[in-house]
Amino acid sequence: MAKNPKAKTFIRFFSAFLVTLLVAGGGLWFGYLYLFSDMEQEESFSHEEVGIEKEDYHSEDIVNIALFGIDTLDDSMIGRSDSIIIVTLDNNKKEIRLSAIQRDTYVTVEGYGKTKINHAYAYGGAQLAVKTLNQNFGLDITDYAVINFTNMEKVIDVLGGIELDVTETYRKEANKHIGYLAADRGIEADLIEESGVQTLSGMQVLGILRARHNVGGTGARSEMHEIVLNACFEKVKSKNILSYPSIAKSLLSLVKTTLSTGDVTSIGTKVLISGYELRSAVFPLTADQPNGDGGKLINGVWYLTYDTETGNQHLRDFIYDGVLYGEEETEE
């Protein structure tokens, strides 16, 4: 089934940070729990706080965590959540499933009526964002993690940079954005001096990620996001396991979450050692959108509409049973 390229970019972009964080966090299994001191931790929400009225879908083998990516120009955690991913840890099937919710999905936000789902975080922070997921899709989420997308620059610097093959066209376009970033911050621009295979800094990679014109448009930018994410993941895997604690300490300082030290360590260990399979999907599925395209103008604003009854069931099937509608049809 075809998937929205922009939604695929969101899930790849944020999933890279998630996997990087969890793999590094798994290294703390070796006795470095004190390094979690920089993580901004909050209390888990109660069922009442986030609109959980029943536990029909709850299982001790299934743990759900909401991940929100906030795109702001500073280090604040206030803004629209342009990336929304539900992480499901299935201890029975030994899977980690990532369900990306498209940011323009038309839902009901308590107190604000029908609007785009990414507005919920801007209106009421993590609590309202989690509540919106539970109330619209029939879920039982009480924990979350949030990161500002601009922090991906810091993540790459923590890793010591990543290696990319930069074309001359990409170099020129990236340098424009690097110049804008540097001017906004009042610092010297860390320009890419030449094309070819090289190790790039966080600022240089951020320039690459923001390039669109003259390099193939949004499609090319989506492909570059995937290349960058793969490079991040490969860089983490190439690190000596003894370096994981220091990497995790730096990454965790960029996160606000309700997850405890033990939660992150346990999940990271499962990814690192226990061989949990990683699966992902983007919702609402194309099959649940009118004519395969849920785009609709309502009062002059574009929203992603879908068949809520079947679409929500397909989401729950994937989260709680690991069954993805249409997956068998796409397998050869």
pLDDT tens, position by position, 120-136: 999 999 999 999 999 99
Q: Are residues 134 and 177 in the same domain?
A: no
The predicted-structure confidence for 174-227, as pLDDT tens digits, reads as follows: 999 999 989 988 999 999 999 999 999 999 998 988 787 877 765 566 567 667
The verdict on 135 and 266 lying in the same domain is yes
Structural domain includes residue 225: yes
At position 233, the amino acid (one-letter code) is F
Residue 89 near residue 62, CB atoms below 8 Å = yes
Per-residue pLDDT at 325: 93
Q: CA-to-CA distance for 291 and 166, rounded, in angstroms?
A: 39
Q: List the beta bridge partners of residue 162.
A: 200
Residue 13 lies in a domain: yes
Are 262 and 228 within one domain?
no
pLDDT at 296 over 50: yes
> Based on the domain organization, do 51 and 117 belong to the same domain?
yes
How many structural domains are present in the chain?
A: 2
Segment 276-300 shows an average pLDDT of: 86
In this structure, what token pair is assigned to residue 48? Answer: 């009442």
Phi-psi group of 186: left, alpha or beta (phi > 0 → left; psi -120 to 50 → alpha; rest → beta): left
- Residue 224 sits in a domain whose CATH number is 3.40.630.190
162/243 Cα distance (integer angstroms): 16
Q: Averaged over 23-50, what is the pLDDT?
A: 57
Identify whether residues 114 and 144 lie together within a single domain: yes
Would you state the pLDDT for residue 309? 95
Please give the radius of gyration of the chain, using alpha carbons only, rounded to the nearest integer: 20
**Is residue 10 situated within a structural domain?**
yes
The total number of residues shown for the chain amounts to 332
Q: How far, CA to CA in Å, does 149 sit from each of 15, 208, 239?
A: 12, 14, 23
Query: 199 lies in a domain?
Result: yes
Q: Within this chain, do residues 177 and 286 fall inside the same structural domain, yes or no?
A: no
Domain of residue 9, CATH code = 3.30.420.590
CA distance 154 to 232: 12
82 and 205, same domain (yes or no)? no
- CA-based end-to-end distance of the chain: 13
Domain annotation covers residue 155: no
Tell me the average pLDDT across 74-101: 80
What is the DSSP-derived secondary structure letter of residue 105? Answer: B
Within its chain, how far is the Cα of 244 from the centroid? 21
Residue by residue, DSSP assigns 225-286 as HHHHHHHHHHHHHHS-GGGHHHHHHHHHTT-EES--HHHHHHHHHIIIII--EEEEEEES-G
Instruction: Say if 154 falls within a structural domain.
Output: no
pLDDT digits (tens, 9 = 90+) for 220-260: 665 676 677 668 767 877 877 677 666 766 666 667 778 76
- Check if the beta carbon of residue 164 is closer than 8 Å to that of residue 198: yes
Which carries the bigger pLDDT value, residue 41 or residue 298? 298
| 35 and 131 assigned to the same domain | yes
Domain that holds residue 196: 160-238
Q: Which of 152, 126, 160 is nearest to 50 (CA)?
A: 126
Asked if pLDDT for residue 163 goes beyond 70, the answer is yes
Quote the CA–CA distance of 168 and 174 in Å, as a whole number: 10
Q: Do 142 and 265 belong together in one domain?
A: yes
Same domain, 224 and 250: no
**Token pair 């709850």 in the structure block, residue:** 58
